[in-house]
Amino acid sequence: MGYWNEQIETAPRSELEALQSYRLSRTVRRVYENVPFYKELFDRHGVSPADIRTVQDLSKLPFTVKQDLRDTYPYGLFATDLENVVRIHASSGTTGKQTVVGYTQNDIDVWSECAARALAAAGGKAKDFVHVSYGYGLFTGGMGLHYGAEKMKATAIPASVGNTRRQITIMQDFGSSILCCTPSYALYLGESIEEMGIDKSTLKLKAGIFGAEPWTEEMRREIEKKLGIKAYDIYGLSEVMGPGVSFECECQNGMHINEDHFIPEIIDPETGEVLPDGEQGELVFTCITKEALPLIRYRTKDIVRLSKEKCACGRTLVKMSKVLGRSDDMLIIRGVNVFPSQVESVLLDIQGVTANYLLIVDRVNNLDTLEIQVEMSPDMPFDAVRMIEEKESEIKAKVDSLLGISAKVRIVSPKTIARSEGKAKRVIDNRNSYHQTV
């Protein structure tokens, strides 16, 4: 199906690598000269920009991690004057502090192009109505797909999240033809359409672009059946750009990485050693065109496999598998990234409860749910039902406002949560195959 940028998407590997090498060496020099963090980091590892001439030199460079963004919060890794930054987004961090990412106008243009490639690969054309039900705001999902739709001169419908009935009415009345949201919400929309007694064939929907959380092939089939569409995966992370770092083509068996902008590597998450093509490991990205925040060898913590095998769609861009798991404890609940330690820091701030807690994640009617169980302090009057209810509401409100996620909170009696002899077990994830497997 449609390429957005045929020349790049089908470029011979040698040409692509030459372009990557040129862009890589230029970026490495720029960050070394403009960002004290990188100068210090490269000096410490005994590597200089002159050592980086081709993509083969990439492994000489040190890695960067999310903690580096936190340590230099908010703008310490930006490689350009703040005057040139036209947009910022943010994503969650383990301490409750967000990590901030920035974009110059050129970065936004590149991002829009990457999102347009994803839309085109899903059959998107200028005549389409692109219904964007990812969140608009600091999260990159909404605006990322929105700008991609406008770039291809399609009509963007910024429906954003929530109010499912209204979303469905918008689909009916405005003629939405491509739906963009998390896969779990897509399924929920499908069920709601059935419940409302709407015949799906009266809708104009033909395709969906779903990502921001892991999903399975079974889920794809269910979404396709319920909504009567083709469902495509899209991957990205805010630190690297947002949605559109990679996207699925009509073959629906892996996501093509926009390699002219991001060089992927797979490493052993324990040793940091680069693994050969086809092996499963942690995905690492180097941004080679970003101006505001060009991260070098950024460890995503996502476990995937890469394949350079020829794709039947004609694209030569390397393909990554679905995300097979994470190498850290990050949970993705309704598309929101949640670290158990974030919940813990909320609980530690609340009088009357202890730090013994358990997060129970589940999927009910295809929507993720989070229940937080926390033990009350032994000195809290056990029969003070009203007081307990008030505390539960207080915790719920704090979690809601800090993490942007609605949780059920249950305060339980002291010593009822099982203690572990080793690492505390903080999470029970009942979403079976959908949950983090690593």
Query: Could you list the residues that contact ligand DLL (CB under 6 A)?
Result: 91, 134, 140-141, 211-214, 233-238, 242-243, 300, 302, 323, 326, 332, 337
With beta carbons less than 8 A apart as the criterion, state whether 144 and 117 touch: no
d(CA 211, CA 145): 11
Q: Give whichever of 34 and 160 is closer to ligand DLL, judged by the CB atom.
A: 160
d(CA 319, CA 316): 9
Q: Between 113 and 213, whose beta carbon lies closer to ligand DLL?
A: 213
Nearer to ligand DLL, 124 or 243 (CB): 243
Least distance CB 244 / ligand DLL (angstroms): 8
Nearer Cβ to ligand DLL (234/317) = 234
Compute the least distance from the CB of residue 351 to ligand DLL, in Å. Answer: 32
Rounded to whole angstroms, the Cα distance separating 232 from 218 reads 13
Residue among 49 and 135 whose Cβ is closer to ligand DLL:
135
In angstroms, the first-to-last Cα distance of the chain is 34
Question: Minimum CB separation from ligand DLL for residue 144, in Å?
Answer: 6
Minimum Å distance from CB 330 to ligand DLL?
Answer: 7
User: Would you say 336 or 372 has its CB closer to ligand DLL?
Assistant: 336
Least distance to ligand DLL from the beta carbon of 300, Å?
Answer: 5
Cα-based torsion angle of the residue sequence 255, 261, 267, 270 in order, rounded to the nearest 10 degrees:
-110
Question: Which residue, 137 or 352, has its beta carbon nearer to ligand DLL?
Answer: 137
In the complex, minimum distance from the CB of residue 58 to ligand DLL, in angstroms, rounded to a whole number? 20
Q: What b/e string do you get for 153-168 counting C-beta neighbours within 10 Å, with b at 16 or more?
A: ebbbbebbbeebeebb
Q: Residue 26 is which amino acid?
A: R
∠ CA 84-154-157 to the nearest 5 degrees?
85
Nearer to ligand DLL, 21 or 99 (CB): 99
User: In the bound complex, what is the minimum distance in angstroms from residue 23's beta carbon to ligand DLL?
Assistant: 23
Q: What is the 3-state secondary structure (H, E, C) of 116-166?
A: HHHHHHCCCCCCCEEEECCCCCCCCHHHHHHHHHHHCCCEEECCCCCCHHH
Question: Could you give the residue ranges of the DSSP H alpha helices within 284-434?
Answer: 340-348, 385-403
DSSP character string of 12-38: -HHHHHHHHHHHHHHHHHHHHHH-HHH
Which helix (H) or strand (E) is 191 found in, with range? Answer: helix 183-195
> Residue 338: which H helix or E strand, with range?
strand 336-338
Report which residue's Cβ sits closest to ligand DLL: 211
The secondary structure of 285-339 as a DSSP string is EEESS-SS---SSEEEEEEE-EE-SPPTTS--S-EEPPP-EESS--EEETTEEE-
- Fill in the DSSP letter of residue 311: P
Q: How far is the CB of 337 from ligand DLL (least distance, A)?
A: 5
- In one-letter notation, the amino acid at residue 136 is Y
For 378, other C-beta atoms within 10 Å of its C-beta total: 10
CB of 334 to ligand DLL, least distance (A): 11
Closer residue to ligand DLL in complex, CB, 8/255: 255
Look-up of token digits 């002899």? 421
Structure tokens at 35: 């960002």
Dihedral sign (CA 66, 70, 71, 77)? positive
Q: Please, what is the minimum distance in Å from the beta carbon of residue 360 to ligand DLL? A: 21
* Closer CB to ligand DLL, 129 or 185, in the complex: 185
Give CA–CA dist 420/357, Å, rounded.
Answer: 12
Query: Of 88 and 412, which CB lies nearer to ligand DLL in the complex structure?
Result: 88
Min dist. Cβ of residue 155 to ligand DLL (A): 19
Q: Which residues contact 160 (CB under 8 A, 6 or more apart)?
A: 132, 133, 134, 135, 136, 142
